[in-house]
Structure 1
Amino acid sequence: MHIGNGIIYVLFWPLYSEHHASKYVCASVPLMAAGHFTLVGMGIVVDKALVASATRTGDRKELLRGPLLYGTIIGLLTMVFWRDSPSGVAAIGVLCAGDGLADIVGRRLGASNRLPYSPNKSAAGSTACFFGGGLAAMACVLYLQSWGVLEQDLEFWRIALGSLLTAGVAAAVESLPLAEVDNWTVPVAAALIARLYFGY
């Protein structure tokens, strides 16, 4: 869920019109999902399938942390950067694939390579975050460029280097001993680095 939803969401971006309101209409999708997470997490709405698929312990209140941040951040990145900038979509790619793979790989392969400054994180997870996030960011930017919606045409090497730099900083941030907040620290760091690198 963490990896796939955001990437699939980006695939539909080129289908929106050039109207200035399109980015807000598009952003309403993850923001409405965040609203649903809130209602279920607070117990106002019952959605057992969502709780089972989006939480680690089966506690609905978990939806008020990571999943809520996930939907909110993706919505905000959409509105701030939209599809004419590589920065927002690169950050979304890093959040979805990088942060998502860090958790999966870290749980399976990280027991023997914990980071000394962050005992709950591992070298395996950080490596997965870097490579997974970098590849996803690059794929997302190249995808938008193939549709001709980016404000500027970018050379492949520039996209690749920017994606890897973005993922590298994001992986470093993800490795910090900060519980329950990497769904916003990772994409915010990624967006800032991408904005500095790409310039828009």
Structure 2
Amino acid sequence: MAATKSISSLLLVDSSSSCFFSPIPRFLTLRIATTTTLRSTTSTLLRRAPSRRSLTSSLAVMFPDNSVLSDVCASGITSVVAVSCLGFWGEIGKRGIFDQKLIRKLVHINIGLVFMLCWPLFSSGRQGALLASLVPGLNIVRMLLLGLGVYQDEGTIKSMSRHGDRRELLKGPLYYALSITSACFFYWKTSPISIAVICNLCAGDGMADIVGRRFGTEKLPYNRNKSVAGSIGMAIAGFLASVGYMYYFASFGYMEGIGWDMILRFLIISVASALVESLPISTDIDDNLTIPLTSALVGTLLF
């Protein structure tokens, strides 16, 4: 009887004492508490940790905490780069180092693609798109002033016109600047459509002329002004440039879902743009309009 009371007294909780008997072993209690603490800490860290995309996309932005200042600085840097490129080709045109037609196409290829290289400097929202589009937008004003004869720049006129006539800048070069500005503002760097528009316009159309002049002995049956080699060269150049910029923007986290499916869509857009460029209508209107419109339309259907 005394032994039974002694055992029973051990099972009772003494309210005046800080020690009591627990039916759960102590080592299990410690393990449960530790596991709960680790889970809570891990979930808190995951909630606070920025995503991989936000980290990579902010790498090129100069002031991540001040998007306005960052975009203004990026716009200034991009403007300097664009003016430097135009000045370089203008000087080449003045010196007569290359044929004028070749220089015009090199400018055509170079300007838009170099401009797109600067896009990661800007923020991803509408503000970044607006300030980035101001760079080619100012070039629209420049083409108007040069084309109307408000001011003279012989080097630029030679490097961007077929025959050295300033009025030519009011057609192809003006449409070129309008197309790049529109692609930048309306689609921006998170859309594959902007890549397709600019790459087919710059790399594709530029290489079509260069390849066509050198290897274009066989003309298209429905347009004797265009060659088979030029059309093939355009499709290949536009496609390769599109894929290259796809991976370029993906490295900053702006492009998701890249793979063979997206690559195939870029190929379809480039082939469609090359086909439209080969039609007589592109000569009658201007391929600086028909190519971007085709790329944007087909891109909208595919993406």
The TM-score, its normalising length taken from structure 1, stands at: 0.93
Q: Between the two proteins, what is the percent identity of the paired residues?
A: 40
Aligned equivalent of 2:139, options 33, 39, 54:
33
Looking at structure 2, the residues matched to 192 and 171 of structure 1 have their Cα atoms a distance apart, in angstroms, of 14
Looking at structure 1, the residues matched to 124 and 184 of structure 2 have their Cα atoms a distance apart, in angstroms, of 14
Residue 95 of structure 1 is matched in structure 2 by 201
Is contact 1:74–1:92 with CA below 8 Å preserved after alignment? yes
Is contact 1:90–1:140 with CA below 8 Å preserved after alignment? no
Q: CA deviation at 1:104?
A: 1.3
**Matches for 1:24-173 after TM superposition, within 5 Å:** 24-110=130-216, 112-150=217-255, 153-173=256-276
Residues 44-75 of structure 1 show CA distances to partners (whole Å, capped at 9, x for unaligned) of 11010101111121111111111100001100
Query: Residue type of the partner of 1:170?
Result: S
Pick which of 159-168 and 14-23 moved more.
Answer: 14-23
Q: CA deviation at 1:31?
A: 1.4
Is contact 1:130–1:168 with CA below 8 Å preserved after alignment? yes
Q: CA deviation at 1:19?
A: 4.3
Secondary structure at the residue paired with 1:17? coil
Residues 85-118 of structure 1 show CA distances to partners (whole Å, capped at 9, x for unaligned) of 11112211111000111111112221x2111111
Is contact 1:66–1:181 with CA below 8 Å preserved after alignment? yes
- In our comparison, the structure showing a higher alpha carbon Rg is 2
- Two-structure CA RMSD over aligned residues (Å): 1.2
Q: CA deviation at 1:123?
A: 0.4
Residue 16 of structure 1 is matched in structure 2 by 122
Pick which of 163-172 and 133-142 moved more.
Answer: 133-142
RCO comparison, higher one (Cα < 8 Å, 6+):
1
> Which 4+ runs in 1 deviate beyond 2 A?
none
Which stretches in structure 2 are left out of the alignment for 5+ residues? 1-106
Looking at structure 2, the residues matched to 91 and 18 of structure 1 have their Cα atoms a distance apart, in angstroms, of 19
Looking at structure 2, the residues matched to 161 and 173 of structure 1 have their Cα atoms a distance apart, in angstroms, of 19
Which stretches in structure 1 are left out of the alignment for 5+ residues? none
Residue-pair matches, total: 195
Q: CA deviation at 1:155?
A: 3.0
Looking at structure 2, the residues matched to 20 and 74 of structure 1 have their Cα atoms a distance apart, in angstroms, of 16
Q: CA deviation at 1:119?
A: 1.1
